[in-house]
Amino acid sequence: MKLIVGLGNPGDKYEGTRHNVGFMAVQTLADEAGVRLKNKGHQGFYGAGRVDGHEVMLLLPQTFMNLSGASVGSACRSLGISPGDLIVVHDDIDQSFGSLKLKAGGGHGGHNGIRNICQVLGHGDFLRVKVGVGRPVPGGDVARYVLSPFASAEKKVLKTVLENSAMAIKAVLTQGEQAAMNEFNKRTVTI
């Protein structure tokens, strides 16, 4: 079984913000696969099912982003998830809006949700699907930027970005990490 986690912040206040693109991507995957994220547990909402023939659990932690590790750690322990079976989808300000980057292992790269997951699990040996949200203008406040909604032009193509994210996750399941990286790390949706 693979555990696929979308990172974000709970509540209406954060819905549709750049920081919640991980939630949106995993919800898109759930909708496409017919997996309902209605179960409550592991400090989040989750659902289990099959994606392209592979058994998965999809999880949206309902802790705040900086405490995502509590939810992810609980699910990993409960399900006996090994590092290679964890996929975390999150926003990345170091990539332009519309780009994807799949990365196996490594550090947190300054992302507080990933930092907390690494602290709780005691390692960073899991796959990340980084969804580019771009950077604020030079001198702009990064926290304010990621907690703001997408710009009008971005909203017009956001659905395609989320669909690409779901396709990248499916490619990991069906073709393996390296083949998925080769295909999706070059893919960008332009405004």
Which pLDDT tens digits describe the chain residue by residue (191 residues)? Answer: 999 999 999 999 999 999 999 999 999 999 999 999 999 999 999 999 999 999 999 999 999 999 999 999 999 999 999 989 999 999 999 999 999 999 999 999 889 999 999 999 999 999 999 999 999 989 899 999 999 999 999 999 999 999 999 999 999 999 999 999 999 997 888 87
The CATH number given to whatever domain includes residue 31 is: 3.40.50.1470
The two structure tokens encoding residue 123? 């390692």
Domain that holds residue 152: 2-184
Domain-embedded: residue 51:
yes
Q: Is 54 a catalytic site residue?
A: no
Domain-embedded: residue 15:
yes
Domain-embedded: residue 92:
yes
Domain-embedded: residue 134:
yes
Q: What's the predicted TM-score (pTM) here?
A: 0.96
CB of 57 closer than 8 Å to CB of 75: yes
Q: Report which DSSP code applies to 85.
A: G
The two structure tokens encoding residue 40? 């409550």
Domain-embedded: residue 118:
yes
Domain-embedded: residue 191:
no
The two structure tokens encoding residue 140? 């702009």
DSSP code per residue over 13-77: GGTTBGGGHHHHHHHHHHHHHT----EEETTEEEEEEEETTEEEEEEEE-S-GGGHHHHHHHHHH
CA distance 44 to 42: 5
Q: Can you give the pLDDT at residue 190?
A: 81
Domain-embedded: residue 62:
yes
Domain-embedded: residue 21:
yes
Q: Which of 19, 42, 90, 111 is catalytic?
A: 19
Query: How many structural domains is the chain composed of?
Result: 1
